[in-house]
Amino acid sequence: MNNFTVEAIELTRLYGGREAVSNVSFTLSKGEVLGFLGPNGAGKSTTMKMLTGNLAPSHGSVKICGIDMMENPKEAKALIGYLPEMRPLYKELTVDEYLTMAARLHKVSSKHIKSAVETAKERCGLGHMSKRLIENLSNGYQQRVGIAQAIIHRPMVVILDEPTVGLDPIQIRDIRALIREVGGEHSVIISTHILPEVEMVCDQVQIIDKGKLVFNGSIDVLKRQRVGNKLLVGLRNAPATGELLKIAGVVEAEALPSGLIRVRFEDGATPAEAIVQTAVQQGWGLHQIAPDQTSLEDVFMQLTYQEQGVAQEQSAA
């Protein structure tokens, strides 16, 4: 007996013969936050629509807590809270009316509707907006109403499509905290194209490009790839790169156009101290030394780019 909350098995969706999503398989366990990354048009939203039963997959299946979405859609959908990319808000209603309606449609028993609405409002910081028309709320507050509607029935899985789009930095921070909090008890899937966000809130990352999964694993793997084994060193009187290679552990030194030198060292070695000492002894004029972090963007670019390269080779062969 596994305790996966979400199981996607070889999901494929064809749009007029073109594969928008092809063979995407993954699982998610309880209490995990999964980040979905990908460039525009990669198939993030399509995958999410299939997971929530808004779109039928051409092949493959989705299971929510072991319940098949195609065979028992009602039972499976009862376990999901979904916020699509376009917020499905009825703008002529007030926040309270809308959330009550959402609770009722998600089969919250009539006794608990009131408390469910109160809890959802409190969690999303909407307490003082109860009687306002949704139409008159700011973008950020509308987004919160959207999230409140997705968590009101305490679903096992919360699926949020680009939850932080168009928000100001403070609101983004609040919503990230909320996602983390929700992730404590439910499973959460979020999609985004903001990479640091994934790093902040997610346990698991999936990178999807042109409908294919390019990377699927824990965030730590991605972080490790990111920190890497490079140092950026700034020297006023830089010696020839050969001098640097003499320092124990240094494998490669490369002068960058910016005047800095990128030093690559062996795995496990920590040559920073040795470099500083040598620099001082030799009078190289050390003014900067820092780990050279490949940004998540670079990792992302590499992964999606590699995939393209492979595809090109294949088509060439």
- Positions touching another protein (CB under 8 A) are 49, 52-54, 73-75, 77-78, 80-82, 84, 86, 88-93, 97, 101-102, 104-107, 149
Start-to-end C-alpha separation, the chain:
44
Minimum Å gap between C-beta 79 and another protein is 9
For another protein, give the closer residue by CB, 20 or 235: 20
Which is nearer to another protein, 105 or 177 (by Cβ)?
105
Structure tokens at 48: 């999410």
Between 87 and 212, name the residue whose CB sits nearer to another protein.
87
Nearer residue to another protein within complex by CB, 130 or 302: 130
Secondary structure of the chain in the HEC alphabet? Answer: CCCEEEEEEEEEEEECCEEEEEEEEEEEECCCEEEEECCCCCCHHHHHHHHCCCCCCCEEEEEECCEECCCCHHHHHCCEEEECCCCCCCCCCEHHHHHHHHHHHCCCCCCCHHHHHHHHHHHCCCHHHCCCEHHHCCHHHHHHHHHHHHHCCCCCEEEEECCCCCCCHHHHHHHHHHHHHHHHHCEEEEEECCHHHHHHHCCEEEEEECCEEEEEEEHHHHHHHHHCCEEEEEECCCCCHHHHHCCCCEEEEEECCCCCEEEEECCCCCCHHHHHHHHHHHCCCEEEEEECCCCHHHHHHHHHHHHHHHHHHHHHC
Task: Report the nearest approach of another protein to the CB of residue 114 (Å).
Answer: 16
85 or 199, CB closer to another protein? 85
Shortest CB 308 distance to another protein, Å: 32
Measured CA to CA, the distance from residue 198 to residue 142 in angstroms comes to 22
CB of 53 to another protein, least distance (A): 7
Report, in Å, the least distance between residue 162 CB and another protein: 14
Closest distance between another protein and the C-beta of residue 142, in Å?
13
Residue type, 306: Q
Shortest spacing between CB 256 and another protein, in angstroms: 47
> Would you say 55 or 274 has its CB closer to another protein?
55
